[in-house]
Chains A and B, each alone.
Chain A
Amino acid sequence: MHAKFTPGRAAMSPWRFRAAPSRPGALYLLCWFAGSVLIAFLVIPLIALALTQTWSSLAAIARMTDVRDAIMLSIEGAFLSALCAALVGVPLAYALARTAFPGKGVIAALIDLPLAVPHTVAGIALLMVFGRQGTFGQPLQSIGLKFWGTIAGIVVAMLFVSAPYTVNAARIGFEAVDPRLEKVARSLGLGPWRTFFRITLPLARRSIMTGITLTYARSISEFGAVIILAYYPMTAPVKIYELFLRFGLEQSAAAAVLLLIVSLSLFVLLRTLAQRGGQPQESR
Chain B
Amino acid sequence: MSVGASIEALALSLGAFRLKEIDFAVSSGEIAVILGPNGAGKSVTLEAIAGFHRPESGRVLIGGRDVTAFPPERRRVGFVFQNFGLFPHLNVAQNVAIAQRRDGPVAGAKYAPPSGDPAALLDYFGIAHLAQRSPSDLSPGEKQRVALARALAAAPDLFLFDEPFSALDAETHEQLREELKAYLRALAIPTIFVSHDRSDALTLADKVIVLRGGAVIQSGPAAEVFQKPANSFIARVVGVENVLSGRVMETSKDFLTVTVGDQVVRAVSPASATPSDGSVLLGIRAEDVEIDPVHTAPPRKAGTNRLPGRIAQLRRAGPLVGVTVDCGLRLTAYLLGSQVRKMNLENGSPVVVEIKPEAIHVMSD
Residues of A within 8 A of B (CB): 178, 180-181, 183-192, 198-199, 202-203, 279-284
Contacts and interface: CB of A to CB of B under 8 A. Distances in A.
Contact of B81 (A180, A203, A279): A180
B13 to A, nearest CB: 15
Contact of A183 (B74, B79, B98, B135): B79
B88 A187 contact: no
Interface string B67-99: 000011111011111110111110000000011
B210 to A, nearest CB: 24
18 contacts: A178-B85, A180-B82, A181-B87, A183-B47, A185-B98, A186-B50, A186-B71, A186-B73, A187-B50, A187-B73, A187-B77, A187-B78, A188-B99, A189-B154, A191-B71, A199-B87, A280-B136, A283-B86
A283 to B, nearest CB: 5
Nearest to A205: B89
A92 to B, nearest CB: 23
Interface in B31-76: 47, 50-52, 71-75
Nearest to B76: A189
B245 to A, nearest CB: 42
Contacts of B87: 181, 184-185, 199, 203, 283
A284 B138 CA distance: 14
Contacts of A202: 89
B102 interface: yes
Contacts, number: 80
Interface residues of B, number: 35
A282 B151 contact: no
Contacts of B74: 189
Contacts of B81: 180, 183-184
Contact of A180 (B85, B88, B101): B85
A170 B75 CA distance: 31
Of A185, A189, A191, A279, chain B has the most CB atoms within 10 Å of the CB of: A189
Contacts of B207: none
B279 interface: no
Nearest to B153: A188
A190 B89 contact: no
A86 to B, nearest CB: 19
A282 B154 contact: no
B134 interface: yes
B136 A183 contact: no
Contact of B88 (A188, A189, A192, A280): A280
B100 interface: yes
B198 interface: no
A189 B50 contact: no
Given A180-B81, A183-B47, A189 B71 contact: no
Contact of A184 (B85, B89, B101, B136): B85
Contacts of B228: none
Contact of B72 (A183, A199, A203, A280): A183
Contacts of B306: none
Contacts of B150: 188
A283 B153 CA distance: 22
